[in-house]
Amino acid sequence: QVQLVQSGAEVKKPGASVKVSCKASGYTFTSYAMHWVRQAPGQRLEWMGWINAGNGNTKYSQKFQGRVTITRDTSASTAYMELSSLRSEDTAVYYCARAGVYCSSTTCYTYHFDYWGQGTLVTVSS
Amino acid sequence: EIVLTQSPDFQSVTPKEKVTITCRASQSIGSSLHWYQQKPDQSPKLLIKYASQSISGVPSRFSGSGSGTDFTLTINSLEAEDAAAYYCHQSSSLPHSFGQGTKLEIK
């Protein structure tokens, strides 16, 4: 069965970076995309970016451009999300979510999020 | 950027009641609209994909409809276990976006 298992909770100081991992199992890792979504307390879900696990190409939300980096290690079937220059407003639960991917000759598209990780709470506090 | 607006934000309902949640997109997204259920302290769970396509394992009382800019999630004969927040999500264009959520309380 498909499982996405994320790393544990983190507490960081403002200005620091955090790297969250998402280990996938139960499917061919490189045949899908992995998205990252966060949810601040009492807020809506917020999309951060995605990686094509097959070719490593990434797309990021303009809101996080320059601060977020999504990578993957195909040998470990694991995706990573690193967020830098943390501030208190980045306190949130961070989720990875799997999506199917389709590529035309010019671009790639992803579908609905069919499996989600359990979430990782990142707390930014001085 | 496509903005999704859900209504209502909150609804208190009794078991066996029929519930309708709407999601309006700021521009046409075809049928690239998906619905998720999120219970307290849990991850979101996919309920409906592409506006109206059912998901294996999801009870048949959940259904979706719509296209373009207006979409609806319907829950027929509500059960106590349906107490949760419900979110719509568009995958038509980047950045992906979500509605603000609708919280259902069971009386």
Express each pLDDT in A46-71 by its tens digit.
Answer: 999 999 999 999 999 999 989 999 99
* Structure token digits, residue B70: 């207006």
Interface probe, candidates B43, B47, B56, chain A, greatest A C-beta count within 10 A: B43
DSSP A40-75: -TT---EEEEEEETTT--EEE-TTTTTTEEEEEEGG
More confident residue, A2 or A108: A2
What local confidence, expressed as pLDDT, does residue A83 receive? 98
In the predicted model, is pLDDT for residue B20 greater than 90? yes
In the predicted model, is pLDDT for residue B15 greater than 90? yes
- The average pLDDT across B24-40 equals 97
* Angle, CA of A71, A76 and A77, to the nearest 5°: 70
- Residue-averaged pLDDT of chain B: 97
What local confidence, expressed as pLDDT, does residue A37 receive? 98
| Cα A79 from Cα A51, distance rounded (Å) | 8
* Structure token digits, residue A86: 């943390």
CB contact under 8 A, B96 and A118: no
CB contact under 8 A, A47 and B50: no
Residues of A in contact with B40 (CB under 8 A): none
Contacts of B26 (CB under 8 A, 6+ apart): B2, B3, B4, B5, B69
From A59's Cα to the closest Cα of chain B, the distance in A is: 8
What local confidence, expressed as pLDDT, does residue A71 receive? 98
What local confidence, expressed as pLDDT, does residue A104 receive? 85
With a pLDDT cut of 70, the percent of chain A lying above it is 100
| Cα B69 from Cα A8, distance rounded (Å) | 38
Query: Computed from CA positions of residues B66, A116, B96, B102, in that sequence, does the dihedral angle turn out positive or negative?
Result: positive
Local confidence band at B48 (pLDDT 50, 70, 90 cut-offs) = very high
User: B77-91: per-residue pLDDT in tens?
Assistant: 999 999 999 999 999
- The average pLDDT across B10-34 equals 97
- The average pLDDT across B56-80 equals 97
Q: Which residue has the tokens 């507490």?
A: A11
Amino acid making up residue A80: Y
With a pLDDT cut of 70, the percent of chain B lying above it is 100
Interface probe, candidates A95, A113, A118, chain B, greatest B C-beta count within 10 A: A113
What local confidence, expressed as pLDDT, does residue A12 receive? 98
- The average pLDDT across B89-102 equals 96
Name residue A51's beta-bridge partners.
Answer: A34, A58
Local confidence band at A108 (pLDDT 50, 70, 90 cut-offs) = confident
- B103 within 8 A of B10, measured Cβ to Cβ: yes
In the predicted model, is pLDDT for residue A109 greater than 90? no
More confident residue, A107 or B24: B24
Which helix (DSSP H) or strand (DSSP E) does residue A29 occupy?
Answer: none
- Alpha carbon of A49 to those of A28, A58, A79, B38, B95: distances in Å? 21, 7, 12, 21, 8
